[in-house]
Structure 1
Amino acid sequence: MIPTKNDLSRNASLFSIARSGVDASNQLLRTTGHNIANVNTEGYVRERTTFQSQATGGVGQGSTERIINTFAQNQLRRDTTLHSEFETYHQKTSVLDNVFASESNSISKSMSRFFGSMQTSADDPTSIAARQLVLGEAQSLMGQISTVTGFLREKEQELNIEVTTNINKVNSLITSIGELNEAIRINQSNNIFDEPGTLKNQRDNAILELSSLLSIETRVDPTDTGGLLVNLTSGESLVLQDGSLNLFEVNNDADQNYKSLRLSSSGKPTTLNLKETNLGGTIGGLFRYRDEVLETSRRELGQIALAVTESLNTQNRLGMDFDGQLGSNIFTLPDITGLEHPDNVGTVGVVTGRITQGAAGQITSADYEVTVNSITPGAPPTLDVTVAAINPDGSAVLDVNGNPISQNYPVLEAAGGTFTPVIGGLELEFSAGAAYTAGDKYILQPTKNSADRIEVTMTRPEDLALASPIHAEGDINNLGDAKVISTKVTNTFIDNTFADSRASGFNNAGGIHGPGASPTGGGGVGAPAEILFTAADTYQVLDSAGSVIATVTGTTDFNNMLAQAEASGAGPAWPAAFSALDDYPGYDLSIQGVPKAGDSFSISFNTDGLNDNRNALVLSDLQNQNIMQLNNSGSGEPVSFHEAYANTVSDIGQKSASANISLQAAEALKTQSKDWFDSVSGVSLDEEAANLVRFQQSYSAAARLLGTAQDLFNTILGVVR
């Protein structure tokens, strides 16, 4: 009997069945061995080989693939991003927190010592040793501020290096992912049955490392070639479908030390600016630390330094020194050079700024952007400029109503040596005249780089103006019980030509203006030198020659009597030439009690007033005055120097503590997602050991089947013979 075709197929397939079983078991053993060998390999994803049976019998073609849960993998990447961001932010912030909270670095203690020495000098204004102590403590205060400011500058340089290093790492990872995508495409096109696990593990590791640097998302290439497209969570692509790459570049704006980022596509002219604080990961943490902590504290410290020194300068100028001269500056404040915007068209033009004298209370921690709108030639030329308050990142500073803080100056004189007051306690000089270009912009940073450039220029202790330059007292023959309770000096600027509107009633010869020397000119009255009561509620203001300057009637309030005379409409009225100046004569007095007709009170320069400590008391009390703006918008109630510094220290401490809490939460989330991912994709030695026994047994059984098939074949051959 001749066997049928089906019978021959079944008999012949016994060898193929046995052989396929051996091959399949061998492949399963190789996969298990590969898993066991890589149990300690970082980022390795365990693999599994699966088979399908053949219709004619035996095992069909097997395929090896990685066991991975995409949801767990994506969650791990997100939690890695979050953990890296808070870890970086907390590490950096805690360093600043330790510096500002340290007693050895406390600027508040240095300020207290300085003002304490000022109080000591007020107790004995004739003591040269006490005055010298004031200058020594001033040097110590500036040295302490300079030390902390220098530390913050070093931290900015260190941060810029870290940013550049991490950006280079990002670029390298993006390139690697693109190259691995291409390698995976080629491998899968050549081998459709086995997944290129090693290549995909390398790509996943690169993507996980990238997620520690940036917040990213991945999606499968829609062409289904095995590639992965990578983009930022904000939408910008990093690895594109066509294989081209978007590379990060560090882009500098007007401030060369303030790094910003942009995406640039290789081979294409496309560039995109990025919001640095939204990047996430290590890079996002670095930028958050820079913008929220480092730059903020640096500017706030500069604001405190400028406000303290300008307040002391202003008050010392309002006093009289040991030599009987009007006071001068204790500190020299630096000029601020405007930074040119990189898009400026003009190549000529410098904008210089400085703190306006007496404007300590207007200084904020904001930067200022100056935009040249138009130029009008002339003698001198004028500019139309807009000055806007901006944050360190270039965004507008908003007022309490949510509106950008800016001011337009349509006719601003542009000439060297001419400074014009603008917002924020600044005054600007446009020395290039008509050479500016419309549309050009300049950035001024009055508080960022100024604190360690302030110098104590007063070297003689005698130059401390501890006395008041004005002396007022009642006549010995007064009948009433009214007494002088206070004098006030608000302006000592000397300009006997009165070309400058800041001119005061003081001359440069240790006195006040007499008739003919005041703004009223020849034949006019002099500066106020006497108060004469003609009735209990009526008084005249007289000059040194006894001429009536103004009359005040119907008053029972004797505070700031010269200010009342200027506001009074009674004849004769306050001279218009006095009112035309900013603050003339720059002094005033107040009395208390009940005056009688004929009572008089003289006002004169405080000649030989060496024992006078009135200005010293005001100087030492500046630390208790609320004259500082608390924020960069200048809104809210002013605070004292100590309160402003305490606010800076507590703000850094609060951010450090908050970051620590967030870091602990992020660590817990990352651990949880890592455990979830490993439970699916990690290698379990117990499971692999069980598989090893099972696959070894199947290999032995398949081999025995192969031997049985060989025996049957030999038996058939023997029968035929």
Structure 2
Amino acid sequence: MGLLNVSTRALLADQVVLQTTGHNIANVNTPGYSRQSVALQTVPGQFTGNGYIGQGVDVAGIVRSQSELLTRQSAAAGAAQSADAVRAERLGQLQDVFSGGSAGLGAAINDMLNAFADVLGAPTDITARTVVLTRIDETAARMRTAAGRMDEIQAAASAQLQSSVGVVNDLAMQMAAVNEQITRAKGNGQTPNDLLDRRDQIIRDINQQLQTTQIPADDGSVGLFVAGSQPLVLGNTATSLSIAEASAFPGSGQARLFFNRPGAKPVEMDDSLLGGGAIPGLLRFDNHDLSEGRNLLGRMAMGLGLALNQQQNQGLTLDGQPGKNLFGLPASMPGHTSGAGVGTVTFSDPTRFAASDYEIRFATGSAGQVVRLSDGQATPFTDPAQLAAQAIDGLRFDLTRPGAPGQSMLFKPFGTAASNLQALVHAPRDLAAANPVMAAMGSANGGTLQLAGLKATGLPHPPGLVLPANANPAATPPIAGGVQLQFDAGPPMRYDVLDRRTTPPTTVATAQPYVSGAPIAIDGWEIRLQGAPNTGDTVLIGNALDPQYGDRFSRDTGNASALMDLRDLKMFDESTLSDGYAQAIAQVGTRTQSAKFAADLSRTIAANLERDRTAISGVNLDEEAARLIQYQQAFQASSKVMQVAQNIFDALLQGLAR
């Protein structure tokens, strides 16, 4: 009977091993499956006077081949890889918005500014003026198109965010259910390997969306925590997540992840604590990368529009009227806050704009600091009046009501500038190509003075452009009008400024140093002269609408020249207006390439860790096939032992029957 019992146990053990091997082979392609093996143990021998006689083999348990360390490392690396991959993908779409070539925004800007050259050659040519206005309208349209494309990218990212949060909530409920099943199964003293595999796979799937921290409990369940301490899954209880607008800045469009604790107010989680996963990657893209793209485009739209509007306002149309704005731009932008603060930001100097959002943080009373969020640079202020009096990056912050200590206000001055850009001038005659002032060399000049340039600047503002007085021959005594520069050959070369609205003229400034080619700025207009004067030489600057000049202003193109010269105006971080778009392309391209490099690196790390995990947990078909043969032979041998035992038992019974 002992031999029969040994063979029976062996047959049962071999059957379990063969079934487990078949289970491994059947699940070779099942995600998250860990290879299982049978742990065998010797049955304690029976003591006899001749020693212990073996009693065969028993199955001690089914063991799951798995490394807890590698499983966690693989899940964490997968989270980082997912965050980098989704961000790199979205940045690639953003990079497509800032495209070059003839269809790009940069080409439209250059074509628009270059179109003023035809007006310089033919100031009264309606066709040349029409081409300029067409180019202006095309530039505005391309700005709006680029902004619209960003809106589409944001909508797609928002939809993906909502979908990812839904996936996490569903997986969290599944894990809570699996936790409960594992806890119940643990009561029988054996490990439910397939349930453990399923739970590990759920954890990996959740980490693809949002990185988690896993903490095992004594009852066999595993708690999942997000953002450091929020319990997403605790035992058999799952808590949901949601995406909503940041509570601190309503209306700003900033997205945040919220933890919906049962019976309590949702907890807004800090983006910096979320770690890896598609959700943090999308939040970083939406709140930072896309915001920077909008600021780059909006700063260009606002800077370009303001610069052209300011210069257009200084000139005269073909009908002798002051120029009106070429582009429709917002005069101010409101701040976002959930506190007591109320205020707006206005635009003053387009050459100093920074592509950034700004946050005003109130410290004590009405004092605080303005923080440029792109680099964290802070500008302190003591009260709203002092803040409104100073320009920060070409912006002025006007607080009608300051916030309470500890509160903040968010300003996005450039976020919607491109999407709202419109061309306002459509009649060719309304293009202000002419200067509002005219200059003439004195008829008795003996030096080599020549007019090199004349334009209205409106600077400083205030007071802005102050035109020379018109002549009035009927006055007593007659008024000559205009402003006269009277030179002294020196050395050093100098000039006096005379206002000819009185007789004799009033001396405004004396002994001003003269440098050939250097600009002379007076009353919001600027003249450049070349050459050396003789003593007594004069230059007269008069109002272009002075009746004594007739319609000469209609053939003047000084303001069109000033508009075209804006190509070389340093505006965007020391880049010229014509090169500003190329700089924006470079900034977005650099960020995109950096993100792609990070995605490639994290993909490699995740693949290596997953390979290491699979090397331990994965099923090798060759190995399993070899085990099938091995345990098939063992099963056959055990059957043979049973057959022999049966024959011996039969022979024994026959002998006893005699």
Same fold per superposition (TM over 0.5): yes
Gaps of 5+ in 2: 47-54, 473-478, 546-550
| 1:719–1:312 distance in 2 versus 1, CA, 3 Å | same
User: Contact between 2:113 and 2:564, CA under 8 Å: does it hold in 1?
Assistant: yes
1:516-665 equivalences in 2 (<5 Å):
529-532=483-486, 537=494, 539=496, 541-545=498-502, 546-553=504-511, 555=513, 557=515, 585-596=523-534, 598-607=536-545, 608=551, 609-628=553-572, 630=573, 638-665=574-601
1:398 equivalent to 2:398? Answer no
Instruction: Give the secondary structure class of the aligned counterpart of 2:58.
Output: coil
* 1:355-412 superposed Cα distances (whole Å, 9 cap, x missing partner): 23xx11122211223467899xxxxxxxx57562443xxxx7434xxxx245454437
| Contact kept in structure 2, 1:528 and 1:549, CA below 8 Å | no
Q: Aligned partner of 2:222: which letter? A: L
Contact 1:385/1:410, CA 8 A, preserved across alignment: yes
Return the letter of the residue paired with 1:142.
A
Name the residue aligned to 2:114: 116
Give the distance between the partners of 1:687 and 1:594, measured in 2 at CA. 97
Pick aligned residue for 2:286 from 287, 290, 294: 290
Match of 2:41, SS state, is coil
Q: CA deviation at 1:264?
A: 4.6
Is 2:242 the partner of 1:218?
Answer: no
What pairs with 1:218-617 in structure 2 (closer than 5 Å)?
218-221=214-217, 223=218, 225-231=219-225, 235-236=228-229, 238-239=231-232, 244-245=237-238, 247-253=240-246, 254=249, 255-266=251-262, 271=267, 273-276=269-272, 279-291=275-287, 293-342=289-338, 344=339, 346=340, 351-356=343-348, 359-370=349-360, 384=366, 388-391=370-373, 397-399=375-377, 404-411=378-385, 422-427=391-396, 438=404, 441-491=408-458, 501-502=462-463, 504-506=465-467, 529-532=483-486, 537=494, 539=496, 541-545=498-502, 546-553=504-511, 555=513, 557=515, 585-596=523-534, 598-607=536-545, 608=551, 609-617=553-561
Residue 198 of structure 2: aligned partner = 202
d(CA) in 2 for partners of 1:585 and 1:528?
12
Give the aligned residue type for 1:587.
W
How far apart are the structure 2 equivalents of 1:661 and 1:538? 62
**Deviations for 1:222-267, whole angstroms, at most 9, x for unmatched residues?**
x2x32334345x7445456555545433241224532122445446
- Quote the Cα distance in structure 1 between the aligned partners of 2:13 and 2:315: 100
Match of 1:46 in 2: 35
Q: Is the 8 A contact 1:627 1:639 kept in 2?
A: yes
Alignment of 1:94-173 (within 5 A): 94-103=92-101, 105-173=103-171
Report the alpha carbon displacement of residue 111 of structure 1 after superposing the two structures with TM: 0.9
CA drift of 1:107 comes to 0.7
Unaligned runs of 5+ in 1: 1-11, 376-383, 414-418, 494-499, 515-524, 564-583, 631-637
Asked whether the 8 Å contact 2:97–2:149 carries over to 1, the reply is no
CA distance in 2, matches of 1:235, 1:710: 65
Which residue number corresponds to residue 548 of structure 2? none
**Structure 1 pair 604/653, CA: closer, same or farther in 2 (3 Å)?**
same
1:559 Cα deviation after fit: 7.4
Q: 1:259 to 1:239 in 2, by over 3 A?
A: closer
- Residue 634 of structure 2 aligns with which residue? 698
SS of match in other structure, 2:578: helix
Q: Which amino acid aligns with 1:602?
A: L
* 1:184 to partner: Cα distance: 1.0
Going from structure 1 to structure 2, the CA distance change for 1:277 and 1:489 (only over 3 Å counts) comes to farther
1:534 and 1:540 in contact (8 A); partners too = no
- Is the Cα contact below 8 Å between 1:559 and 1:589 reproduced in 2? no
Asked whether the equivalents of residues 478 and 598 of structure 1 are also in contact (C-alpha less than 8 Å), the reply is yes
Distance 1:484 1:540 in 2: 17
CA distance in 2, matches of 1:305, 1:480: 45
> Structure 1 residue 71: deviation in Å?
4.0
Matched residue SS, 2:416:
coil
**Cα gap change, 1:146 to 1:513, in 2 (>3 Å):** farther
Work out whether residues 372 and 386 of structure 1, in 8 Å CA contact, stay in contact via their aligned partners in 2.
yes
Q: In structure 1, what is the equivalent of residue 50 of structure 2?
A: none
Distance, in Å, in 2 between the alignment partners of 1:125 and 1:469 is 15
Secondary structure in 2 matching 1:364: coil
| Aligned residues of 1:478 and 1:599 also touching (Cα < 8 A) | yes
Per the alignment, in what secondary structure is the counterpart of residue 28 of structure 2? coil
Verify the 8 A CA contact 1:387 1:407 in the aligned structure 2: yes
CA contact (8 A) 1:99 1:105 kept: no
Quick one: distance in 1 between partners of 2:13 and 2:581? 75
CA contact (8 A) 1:31 1:49 kept: yes
Q: How many angstroms apart in 1 are the aligned matches of 2:623 and 2:449?
A: 103
CA contact (8 A) 1:335 1:352 kept: no
How many Å apart are 1:119 and its aligned residue? 1.3
Check conservation: 2:85, 2:599, Cα contact below 8 A: yes
- RMSD across aligned positions (CA): 3.6
Q: Which residue type is aligned with residue 8 of structure 2? A: R
> Is the partner of 2:63 in helix, strand or coil?
strand
**Does the Cα contact within 8 Å between 2:239 and 2:261 map onto a contact in 1?**
yes
Change (3 A) 1:288 1:535: closer
Name the aligned partner's letter for residue 465 of structure 1. A
On the 8 A contact 2:223/2:233 being kept in 1, the answer is yes
Give the superposition deviation at 1:268. Answer: 6.3
AA aligned to 2:42 is S
- TM-score norm. by structure 2 comes to 0.84
- Structure 1 residues 673 and 258 mapped into 2: Cα distance closer, same or farther (>3 Å)? same
Paired letter, 1:21: A
The code of the aligned residue for 1:443 comes to L
Q: Is the 8 A contact 1:465 1:615 kept in 2?
A: yes
Aligned to 1:496: none
Decide whether the 8 Å contact of 1:387 with 1:422 is kept in 2: no
Shift of residue 701 of structure 1?
3.7
Q: Once the two structures are superposed, what CA deviation does each residue of 1:115-139 show, in whole Å capped at 9, x if it has no partner?
A: 1211111111111111111111100
Question: What letter corresponds to residue 676 of structure 1 in structure 2?
Answer: D
Alpha carbons 1:79, 1:669 under 8 Å: kept: yes
Is 1:32 aligned with 2:57?
no
